[in-house]
Structures are given as structure tokens and as C-alpha cells.
Structure 1
Amino acid sequence: MTEEQTIDHHLRQALAHLETALNQSVAAVMNDQALKKEIGKKWEMFLGDFFGYVREKGKQHRINLLGWISFPRLR
């Protein structure tokens, strides 16, 4: 497996895990609105950790990882 294929594999796995977490989050809040704030904090923490990690890796290697992504093209 090439490095590019390995990256694709890990990104597909990550997306599958995120879809599962999102589906469970929605289901939990639909069942109990009181969980909205708690689950929202979990997502906030996750996204903060992820973007923080991306920024830190970029600083370490002196590259703008977010610059690789064309945000207007995101759907």
C-alpha cells in the first residue's frame, strides 16, 4: 500500500467514525434535549483539539496545513 493509499484509508476510517459519532449525537439529543449542551461541548472540544493539532503540526514543520484546503469548495 502506498503512502497516499494509507492516507486515504485513514481519512475514510476517520470519516466513518465521525459519521457514527454525529449520528449518535443527534439521536441522543432527539431523545433528551437536556443533553444538547453536554454533547455540544464534546464536539467543541473535539474540533478545538483537532484544529489545535493541525496548527501545532503546521508550526512544527513551518507549513500551513489549512492552506492546502480550498474552503469555498467545501460543500
Structure 2
Amino acid sequence: MSEKDRQIIQQLKQSLLHLDEALNLSIQMLKENENNKKTISAVWEEFLSTLFGRIKSKANENNLNLSKLIPLPKLTRFFKI
């Protein structure tokens, strides 16, 4: 494994720690007051839109198709209700 691989993994692990924190806070807020649902939904929608927008933007800037790194069917299985 190269040094760049290790750097990527480390950065993503740190991101996951922050995501876990945000998830825990979101859940706590929902448990405390169901009326927080609208606010929390808006925050998470904005976050996910920004995340996928940045991925798309960086891919376009660099003439890469980053969406092929993780096939859509693998992503959609997490959103099945």
C-alpha cells in the first residue's frame, strides 16, 4: 500500500468519525423532539447534495468518471425502504 493510499484511508476514517458524531446528534435531537425532523432533514439533504455535487464537480474538472468507483446499484441498496 502506498503512502497516498494510507493518506486517503486516514482522511476517510476521520470523515467517518465526524459523520458518526453528526448522526448521533441528529438521532438525539429527534428523540428529544420530533419537531426537529424538518430541520435535521434539511441539514442532511444539504450535506448529501453538497457531497455528491463536489464529487461530480471534481470529476468534471479532472475529466474523470468518479461515479464508476462505486457502482450505483451498490449505493442504492442503502436507500431501499
Task: Identify unmatched segments of 5+ residues in structure 2.
Answer: none
Q: CA shift at 1:66, angstroms?
A: 1.4
TM-score under structure 1 normalisation? 0.90
Q: Which amino acid is 1:57 matched to?
A: K
**3-state DSSP of counterpart to 2:64:** coil
Runs of 4+ in 1 over 2 A off after TM superposition: 70-75
Q: Which residue of 1 aligns with 2:16?
A: 15
1:23-49 per-residue CA deviation (whole Å, 9 max, x = no partner) reads 110110110111100011000000000
Identity, % of aligned pairs? 33
Task: Identify unmatched segments of 5+ residues in structure 1.
Answer: none
Using the alignment, how far apart are the partners of 2:31 and 2:39 within structure 1?
13
TM-score under structure 2 normalisation? 0.84
Using the alignment, how far apart are the partners of 1:5 and 1:71 within structure 2?
25
Q: Which residue of 1 aligns with 2:31?
A: 30
1:5-39 per-residue CA deviation (whole Å, 9 max, x = no partner) reads 01000000001110110011011011011110001
Structure 2 residue 65 is matched with structure 1 residue 64: yes
Q: CA shift at 1:3, angstroms?
A: 0.9
Equivalenced residues, count: 75
Q: CA shift at 1:73, angstroms?
A: 4.3
